[in-house]
A and B are shown apart, each in its own frame.
Chain A
Amino acid sequence: AQSVTQLGSHVSVSEGALVLLRCNYSSSVPPYLFWYVQYPNQGLQLLLKYTSAATLVKGINGFEAEFKKSETSFHLTKPSAHMSDAAEYFCAVSDRSFGNEKLTFGTGTRLTIIP
């Protein structure tokens, strides 16, 4: 069974500082990995996805994530935080082996930006 662990349910950073949100995964097969962002009372928006083409994945809004197989990690980073980055972030894993590519999500990390 696949699973995702997000370390830190709440992260606060100052505006302009580095954002680092941590995600570790467990999967018996090479997975798809994703980061989604959710703003209050809204659905999820895909930030980026890893599908094995490259270990460093660039996404929208200046975010990127690096797949490290040896550490089973897929941490999300952004060099300089902006106030508009305040939201809930979810890491997710999908088993690419079968037709049902259902997502298994972590519990989320709420990012607060300090002015």
Chain B
Amino acid sequence: DTGVSQDPRHKITKRGQNVTFRCDPISEHNRLYWYRQTLGQGPEFLTYFQNEAQLEKSRLLSDRFSAERPKGSFSTLEIQRTEQGDSAMYLCASSLGGGKQFFGPGTRLTVL
């Protein structure tokens, strides 16, 4: 069990640029979640994959956001035309079900 990894750990970008984050879940985990955490708040659910299928998206996930999980392994989260309000920590978690999710270290996005 090597844990959930996320890349990059930090990203600074200018408003209007596109960014992409990657999450590598624990290898046998079929469920993958993305959350967003802003300063002083708890994480908020963004989207959920079971294997390669994206089964739920939060209303927080505007049209500028897209997530994929090709082949049911790693996942990417892309934000197009970033806005300052997108600045947050983006957390990925994976799970086998039964309620227990394992979180990665997160990607901290700063939009200037």
- Which residues of A does B touch, CB under 8 Å? 32, 34, 36, 41-46, 49, 51, 90, 92, 94, 96, 99-108
Bound-complex Cα distance A68 to B90 (A): 32
- Say yes or no: A103-B45 contact (C-beta < 8 A), given A34-B99, A49-B99, A51-B99: yes
Provide 29 A-B residue pairs closer than 8 Å at the C-beta atoms, listed in order of the A residue: A36-B103, A41-B108, A42-B105, A43-B6, A44-B43, A44-B91, A46-B100, A49-B99, A51-B98, A51-B99, A90-B42, A90-B43, A96-B99, A99-B50, A99-B97, A100-B50, A100-B55, A100-B56, A101-B95, A101-B99, A101-B101, A102-B48, A103-B35, A103-B43, A103-B93, A103-B101, A104-B45, A106-B42, A107-B41
Q: 7 closest Cβ contacts across the A-B interface? A: A105-B42, A32-B99, A43-B103, A102-B45, A44-B103, A43-B105, A100-B48
- Say yes or no: A102-B91 contact (C-beta < 8 A), given A34-B99, A92-B42, A108-B41: no
Judged by a CB distance under 8 angstroms, whether B40 is at the interface is yes
- Which residues of B does A touch, CB under 8 Å? 4, 6, 31, 33, 35, 40-45, 48, 50, 55-56, 91, 93, 95, 97-106, 108
Bound-complex Cα distance A103 to B45 (A): 7
Inter-chain contacts of A108 with B (CB < 8 A): 40-42
Bound-complex Cα distance A99 to B103 (A): 18
Name the contact of B43 in the complex, choosing from A41, A49, A51, A105 (C-beta under 8 A). A105
Bound-complex Cα distance A90 to B40 (A): 11
Bound-complex Cα distance A106 to B37 (A): 11
Inter-chain contacts of A105 with B (CB < 8 A): 42-44
Shortest Cβ gap from B53 to chain A (Å): 10
Query: Could you tell me if A49 and B104 are in contact, using CB atoms closer than 8 angstroms?
Result: no
Q: Which residue of A lies closest to B55 (CB)?
A: A100
Q: Which residue of A lies closest to B46 (CB)?
A: A102
Bound-complex Cα distance A44 to B31 (A): 17
Shortest Cβ gap from A50 to chain B (Å): 9
Shortest Cβ gap from A98 to chain B (Å): 9
Bound-complex Cα distance A107 to B77 (A): 24
Query: Could you tell me if B99 and A43 are in contact, using CB atoms closer than 8 angstroms?
Result: no
Bound-complex Cα distance A88 to B50 (A): 29
